Amino acid sequence: MPSIVKPVAIHPSLQRNALGLTIRDYEGSMSTLCAGCGHDSVTAAIIRAFWELSTPPHMIGKMSGIGCSSKTPTYFVHGAHGFNSAHGRMAAIATGAIAANRDLIYVGISGDGDSLSIGLGHMCHAIRRNIKMLYVIENNGVYGLTKGQFSASADVGSKSKRGEPNRLAPIDPVTLGLSLGATFIARSFSGDKEQLVPILKAGISHRGLALVDVISPCVTFNDHKGSTKSYLHTRTHELKATETDFVPPAAEILATIGQNGATNVTMHDGSVVRFKGVPKDYDPTDREKVWAYLQEHQRKGEVVTGLLFLDETVPDLHELNETSDIPLSRLPLEKLCPGRSALEDLQEEFR
Amino acid sequence: MHQLVRSRVKVETRVNDFAIKLANVNGTGSASANSLLMQAIFRMGIPVSGKNLFPSNIQGLPTWYEIRVNKDGYTARALDYDLMVAMNSQTYARDIREVREHGYVLYDSTWPLDPSLSRDDVTFLGVPLAEMCNRNFKDPRERILMKNIAYAGSLVAVLDVDMDLIGQLLDEKFAGKKALHESNHRALRLGYEFARDHFDPLPFRLERMDANRDKILIDGNTATALGCVYAGATVAAWYPITPSTSVMDAFKSFCEKYRRDPETGKNNYVILQSEDELAAIGMVIGAGWNGARAFTSTSGPGISLMNELLGLAYYAEIPAVVMDIQRVGPSTGMPTRTQQGDLMECAYASHGDTKHILLFPANPAECFELAINSFDLAERFQTPVFMLSDLDIGMNDWVVPRLNWDESYRPDRGRLLEPEDLEKLEKFERYLNEDENYVTARTLPGMDPKGAFFTRGSGHNKFGGYTEMPDEYQEVLDRLARKHKAAAKFVPPPVIERRGDARLGIVTLGGCDPAVREALEILSRQGIDADYMRVRGFPFGESVEVFLNQHDLCFVVEQNRDAQLRSLLLLETGVAKEKLRSVLVYGGFPLSAKHVIDQVVNQLESVGRSLETQER
């Protein structure tokens, strides 16, 4: 599938961000996904999030594996470096990339096949290592490029296009993330940009790995009656557990206490995530409570969305490793090579 | 009780020329006694080798250690043992059988030896080790451990190891551990005094020499790790696997020593213990893409798992270094035995048309040197590079020349565009404008907005854009083939040694080196002269092909069943198939000159005489 370059034409009236860039500067090539694909909406939300954050495009590292979702990094921020790697291996490759250069801002785009089947192990271990990356799963319950097989996120009883029900228990990235100690867990819906954009911005600013599961319906293979990953099913079963605002560093926080109370969480970089509306007894910083809430509502077939869990106290990979502040890839040999006299001294031990 | 010297054939005393084998039970502490002896002989200035033949087991299975001493420097594995230290009753029968005629067996005479094990042509030296240690030590664990030091003491006596030197080594080893120091010294003396008082001198012994002044005693995995440190590797990713684990253990300890920044106190490295080898190579590729020198250490089973992403690195042109410490395959195979079985797997790793750069070190000194070459080649050619060491090189201590460091060394980063280079370009295209080696320039993420590009393992054209068009795809793939070929001029050249104008050649690689050299010397004395070539890199350079063409017949000596080096030579050079014959030893123990001589002589007889020496 070739990518089609979009003509660059910027209307003078377009708004500019702190870097003087318009939203068009954060776009990529023309999407080659099916018309109406949920992934294109996620792409649009990512474009908006980066533009609003005024992230320098060339400081973004776009990582992906293989699948429909993994194609999307070509569709946003054309000025960023991208790496469309191999099926399921995005998390591992991103881990190495992050180890080498901690200065970039990483976004990993994956799908339910990529992350919950072939790359499940890598995703779990990336979560354990708490690599600093926005990890987006564009979750549609189905393999699109190979034409409609169930993925590991398909719910029991959800029907394929041919009417066949799925009988295997699903792997839910949100509850999995909770049990693995993920420090930022969200679920959203590709059709809800208002909810998704602040979540993505918060995820980008998060101290470690920000896991964002986005229900992103496949219009070609999984948007029919009987599917639990269709637009209609998601709209009718969605339960917004939290509403969030993202306030960048140094911006004034105008707290308006919502009906159910508000919670502010200050992020490691000084920005603030403001939970505007959370249900009674729900605490997005309490893993056990979130777990109980999810169990209760998912049992009823509800699709719980929002920024569900956040813990800014856990160090990321580099903090744990006490890695040099200068990216490892930029260290000169003098910092790395012990030199001749050290080698001579050392060899006295080999006598 | 012990048996005193029983039969003695009058032979001259051989000085610094013998082999001993120590048969032990795994996990009983014999390793430190054995390496103590080896180290003492090394410090006496005598050429020596130690081969640890250990099981894939933590405790209880048989394990052997072989020490070969040879004043002329031939220290490949010997198959004739002058002395067997039989400390494992499970393997008595086999061990006693292996002793050469008129050889010696030293055993624990606390219990009588089964008369059926006796051999008339062998002298049995009984030392009541268990009895001695039970009498002198209280702690049950200590009683077992000290038996090893006690037999070492007996060997010190019968072989004439410098007692002061041994004492000095124990002082170094147990500095600050007073109790251990005392018990080791005591056990050593017990064994020493018993042997001194009960045995006549043996017909072989040690005498100080001065052959090791500029030598060190080091294993290949330590040297490999040191090479990675000196080359400036900053990201290491790995999954534990025998026999490569000690590469990363050593890398970690060197990094703790040398890579904690004195100014910032921060670590100038990251070591990632990955979830599997798929991830390990993925991490290396991610780090390489981002401009860090990165490597993984693994063994055959790990390479099998890495195959998928090795193709990605090859096709997307990302530097990566793989230290493959080969062990016996296929499958789990024999994890603690050595082999050279990964050549074909590494040469063409991954699906589709792929070819890689391989380096073959022969000993720990070359592990250090070629480890550094690996990083330079990986960056220059923007591709994976494999260094194929093996268990014998990696885990045994070798006597090698001291390592040197040239302070003028600068990493070869290859064609890497800095912001000032990009400024001069109108537009940057990743796979365009190849140099004379068919390498195109790359940029690093985050360095400059102009350098941004999209890396993909899917079909791409020379601009880096996605393609499914035959001509665009082939254009890139053909350049990759030319680039691989061009690397032949940059891999280390073969080591070639000629004897006059021999028409017979012996070709080998890696750790076969000492055994093949010794075989060449012995064959020459038998009137069979052969030239020697040890290949050190793939793709093969011109000199490799010239050597093959210059000889009527070449024996390719290697440690695998399927003649993988020979296959690679046939595939990648124009040499005629019938010109290359194989000498194959692949049972898992290191190569001996005897293996080579026997197979060469047998085959020459069957090929028909007269090829080797006559009518020059």
CA distance B590 to chain A (A): 23
The residues of chain B that CATH labels 3.40.920.10 are 14-205
Beta strands in B391-501 (DSSP E): 397-401, 454-456, 495-497
Note the pLDDT of residue B6. 45
Query: Which chain A residues are within 8 Å of B371, Cβ to Cβ?
Result: none
The CATH architecture annotation of domain B14-205 reads 3-Layer(aba) Sandwich (3.40)
The residues of chain B that CATH labels 3.40.50.970 are 218-401
- Answer whether B34's CB lies under 8 Å from B65's CB: yes
A82 contacts B290? CB cut-off 8 A: no
Give the residue from chain B lying closest to A3, CA to CA.
B466
How far apart are alpha carbons B173 and A113 in whole angstroms? 55
Note the pLDDT of residue A257. 41
Query: Which chain A residues are within 8 Å of B321, Cβ to Cβ?
Result: none
Query: Which chain B residues are within 8 Å of A93, Cβ to Cβ?
Result: 282-283, 285-286, 289, 309
A92 contacts B274? CB cut-off 8 A: yes
pLDDT band at A10 (very low <50, low <70, confident <90, very high): confident
Note the pLDDT of residue A280. 84
B285 contacts A96? CB cut-off 8 A: yes
pLDDT of B3 strictly over 70: no
pLDDT band at A121 (very low <50, low <70, confident <90, very high): very high
B294 contacts A58? CB cut-off 8 A: no
Sorted by sequence, the CB contacts under 8 Å of residue B39 that are 6+ apart come out as: B169, B217, B397
Residue A204's domain spans which residues? 23-330
| Number of alpha carbons in the 13 Å side-chain half-sphere of residue B528 | 26
A122 contacts B275? CB cut-off 8 A: yes
CA distance A182 to chain B (A): 17
Query: Which chain A residues are within 8 Å of B413, Cβ to Cβ?
Result: none
Query: Using CB atoms, which residue from B272, B402, B452 is nearest to A80?
Result: B452
Query: Using CB atoms, which residue from B258, B269, B279 is nearest to A122?
Result: B279
Note the pLDDT of residue A262. 67
pLDDT of A1 strictly over 80: no
pLDDT of A297 strictly over 80: yes
A84 contacts B455? CB cut-off 8 A: yes
Question: Quick one: which H or E segment has residue B230?
Answer: helix B220-231
Note the pLDDT of residue A259. 47
Note the pLDDT of residue A296. 95
- Give B197's strand partners: none
**CB neighbour burial string for B270-287, b if at least 16 within 10 angstroms, e if fewer:** bbbebbbbbbbbbbbbbb
Q: What mean pLDDT, rounded, does chain A reach?
A: 93
Q: Decide yes or no: CATH 3.40.640.10 for domain B495-607.
A: no
pLDDT 10s digits, A33-84: 999 999 999 999 999 999 999 999 999 999 999 999 999 999 999 999 999 9
Task: Give which of A59, A60, A77, A83 to mutate to test B binding, by max B Cβ within 10 Å.
Answer: A83
Min mean pLDDT across B225-239, B507-521, B549-563, B599-613 is at B599-613
Region of B433 (left: φ > 0; alpha: ψ -120 to 50; beta: rest) is left
pLDDT band at A260 (very low <50, low <70, confident <90, very high): low
Of A184, A242, A192, the C-alpha closest to A211 is A184
Query: Which chain A residues are within 8 Å of B404, Cβ to Cβ?
Result: 340, 343
The more confident residue out of B267 and A7 is B267
Note the pLDDT of residue A333. 97
Note the pLDDT of residue B609. 53
Query: Using CB atoms, which residue from A56, A121, A325 is nearest to B264?
Result: A325
For B218-401, CATH number? 3.40.50.970
How far apart are alpha carbons A82 and A93 in whole angstroms? 12
pLDDT 10s digits, B348-367: 999 999 999 999 999 999 99
The more confident residue out of B49 and B616 is B49
Query: Using CB atoms, which residue from B216, B282, B411 is nearest to A89?
Result: B282
Residue A325 phi, psi dihedral angles, 5° rounding: -65, -35
Min mean pLDDT across A10-14, A118-122, A125-129, B540-544 is at A10-14
Report, as an integer, the average pLDDT of A2-25.
84
Beta strands in B547-593 (DSSP E): 553-558, 580-584
CA distance B51 to chain A (A): 17
Note the pLDDT of residue B538. 98
One-letter identity of residue B258: Y
**Taking the CA atoms of chain B, what radius of gyration do you get in angstroms?**
27
Q: Write out the DSSP string of B1-46.
A: -----------PPEESEEEEEEEEETTSSHHHHHHHHHHHHHHTT-
Count how many pairs of residues, chain A against chain B, have C-beta atoms within 8 Å.
Answer: 228
A103 contacts B278? CB cut-off 8 A: no
A328 contacts B235? CB cut-off 8 A: yes
Note the pLDDT of residue A252. 56
Of A54, A65, A51, A59, the C-alpha closest to A106 is A59
CA distance A120 to chain B (A): 11
Query: Which chain A residues are within 8 Å of B288, Cβ to Cβ?
Result: 96, 100
pLDDT band at A7 (very low <50, low <70, confident <90, very high): confident
- Give B456's strand partners: A84
A335 contacts B309? CB cut-off 8 A: no
pLDDT 10s digits, A225-259: 999 999 999 999 999 999 999 998 866 555 444 44
Query: Using CB atoms, which residue from A82, A104, A347 is nearest to B216?
Result: A347
Give the residue from chain A lying closest to B279, CA to CA.
A92
CA distance B472 to chain A (A): 13
B218 contacts A125? CB cut-off 8 A: no
The residues of chain B that CATH labels 3.40.50.920 are 495-607
Is the pTM higher than 0.80? The answer reads yes
Query: Using CB atoms, which residue from B42, B267, B289 is nearest to A321?
Result: B267
Report if residue A10 sits inside a domain: no
- Give B321's strand partners: B295, B385
B258 contacts A338? CB cut-off 8 A: yes
B283 contacts A57? CB cut-off 8 A: no
pLDDT of B613 strictly over 60: no
Token representation of residue B230:
């000196």
Report if residue A342 sits inside a domain: no
Note the pLDDT of residue A281. 83
Note the pLDDT of residue B1. 37
- Answer whether B531's CB lies under 8 Å from B581's CB: no
CA distance A215 to chain B (A): 26
CA distance B411 to chain A (A): 8
Domain count, chain A: 1
Note the pLDDT of residue B145. 94
CA distance A316 to chain B (A): 13
Residue B276 phi, psi dihedral angles, 5° rounding: -170, 180
Query: Which chain B residues are within 8 Å of A123, Cβ to Cβ?
Result: none
Query: Which chain A residues are within 8 Å of B272, Cβ to Cβ?
Result: 95-96, 99, 129
CA distance A197 to chain B (A): 24
CA distance from start to end of chain B: 62
